[in-house]
Amino acid sequence: MQRLVLSCCVVASLLAAREAAAACPVGVTWPAADWPEALASGPTVAAADEYLFTLTGRDEDREGIRTDGVVIVHRGRVIYERYARGYARHNRHLAWSVSKSFLNAMVGVGVGRGALTVDDSICDHYDADGELCDITVGDLLDWGSGLDWNEGYEDEPYYLSSVIAMLYGIGSGDMAAFVAAQGLAETPGTIYRYSSGDTVLLSAVLAGALGPDLADDYPWEFIFDPIGMKSAMFERDQVGTYVGSSYVYATPRDLARFGYLFLRDGCWDGQRIVPEGWVAASTQPNPSFQMGKSYEHFLRDGDAVPGRHWWLNLPIPELAHERRWPAAPPDTFAGLGHWGQTIFVVPSADLVLVRTADDRESGFDQNRYLELALTLAAEDSP
C-alpha cells in the first residue's frame, strides 16, 4: 500500500523549520544543578491551582482529577511548580508510558554512535529468526511490527491483555522473549498497532546492538547523566532488559530536563546528545501510521497522532484526523503515560510541561491544561 502524503501546509512548514535548526541552539538558558526559577503569580496561577489540584471527594475513592505534581518551564526557567497528595519536589514518580519516549532518545543515541540503524533487522541484534527477521528497528519505533498484541488495560478482561501478561504475568521474567513469542499477525511496516511489547523488544534489540560493555549502563551514559537527571531510575526484568515501555522513574523537575532536551533539538548546554535530525524524525507522523490501517482501539476520535514513540498535535486530513489539542500550536508534541503522566513540549512557545498524577478516570482535560500553561507563558514573556 502506498503511504499517504500529508497535504497540510502546516506540516511542511513545521518540518522545514525543524530542519533549519540543525545546529545546537545558542543564547538560551540551561539548568545547572537545578532549574532557575521565575515563579508566576496572579489570577492564571490561581486558575491553574484550582483546575489541577482540586480533588473530587475523598482521596481514597480515586475519583476525578488527581494531580501529584506539575512543573512548567518557560524559556529555561521554572514558572510554575506545585505538588499534592503527599508528593514533594524530591519524590520520584513512575512515568509509565512516558518511558517509551525515553527509549526513543536512547535508540537515537545508539544510532548516532553507529551501533544500529533504523533499517536493521531485529535479528541483527536479537536472537530471533524466521518471519520476525522481517521486523526492522524502525518498525518497532513506529509500533508497526505486526506482532500479535493486545494492549488492553484494567478496563478490559485482564486475561486478554498481552501487556498485563508481560508486565505482571507469565511474560515478566523475560519480557522481550514473551513479545517475540506472540508471532506475526500482520506484515511488518504495514499497520499501526500501539504496543508496549514493541517497545520492550526494541529495548532488547538496542542492548544487543550495544554489546555487553554498554548494555547495563546505556540509559545513564546516553541520557540521564548528560542532562543531569540524578533522580532517574529504570527498572529491568529478570534477564536484565530495561522495561522501556513503562518503568522509568524520576522527579518532575528531572522529567522536565528530558522534555527540555527535545525542546532544544537533542542538545544540552551546547553539546549534541541526540543525533541531528532525530527529534524532527521522531516528531512527525510515523510511517506505519500513515499507511492508513490501524487497530481501531488505538485510533479513536480525539487521539493524538503517533510519531516515533512521541505523540503529535498535527492534523492528518487524509485520515480525517484533527489536532488533538486545539488550544496548543501544531508543533506541540508529548510523551504520554497511563493515569495522567505527561511531558508536553511546545517549541514555538519555548515551553515544557510535566504532570505526574494518579488519574483513574478520564476526566482530565489536557487541552485546558495546555491553555493555562500557554497563558502563563504569555504572561511571562519579556
pLDDT tens digits for range 304-357: 999 999 999 999 888 878 899 999 999 999 999 999 999 999 999 999 999 999
Show Cβ contacts of residue 225 under 8 Å, excluding neighbours closer than 6 positions.
none
Query: What's the pLDDT at 302?
Result: 57
Side by side, the strands of the sheet bearing 351-357 are 77-83, 67-74, 351-357, 341-346, 333-337, 311-312, 305-306
pLDDT tens sequence across 155-210: 777 788 999 999 999 999 999 999 999 999 999 999 999 999 999 999 999 999 99
Residue 314 is part of a domain; what is its CATH number? 3.40.710.10
Query: What's the pLDDT at 160?
Result: 87
pLDDT tens sequence across 277-311: 999 999 999 888 888 777 644 444 457 999 999 99
- Structurally, the chain folds into a number of domains equal to 1
56 has a pLDDT exceeding 90: no
Grid cell, residue 261, equals 532536551
Q: Amino acid letter at 286?
A: N
Query: What's the pLDDT at 10?
Result: 41
Burial annotation 295-316 (CB, 10 A radius, 16+ → b, else e): beeebeeeebbbbbbbbbbbbb
Q: Which domain holds residue 314?
A: 2-379
Query: What's the pLDDT at 320?
Result: 75
pLDDT > 70: percent of the chain: 92
| Average pLDDT value for residue range 90-112 | 98
Per the prediction, the chain carries an average pLDDT of 91
Strand, helix or coil at 308? coil
Q: What are phi and psi of 37, to 5 degrees?
A: -125, 145
Measure Cα distances from 377 to 69, 80, 295 in Å: 18, 10, 37
Q: What are phi and psi of 127, to 5 degrees?
A: -75, 80
In angstroms, the CA 378 to CA 382 distance is 9
Query: What's the pLDDT at 22?
Result: 64
Please, which pLDDT band fits residue 60 given cuts at 50, 70 and 90?
Answer: confident
- Is residue 14 within 8 A of residue 307, CB to CB? The reply is no
CA dihedral for 225, 227, 230, 231, sign (positive or negative) = negative
pLDDT tens sequence across 10-50: 444 444 444 444 689 999 999 999 999 999 999 999 999 99
pLDDT > 90: percent of the chain: 80
Q: Amino acid letter at 28?
A: V
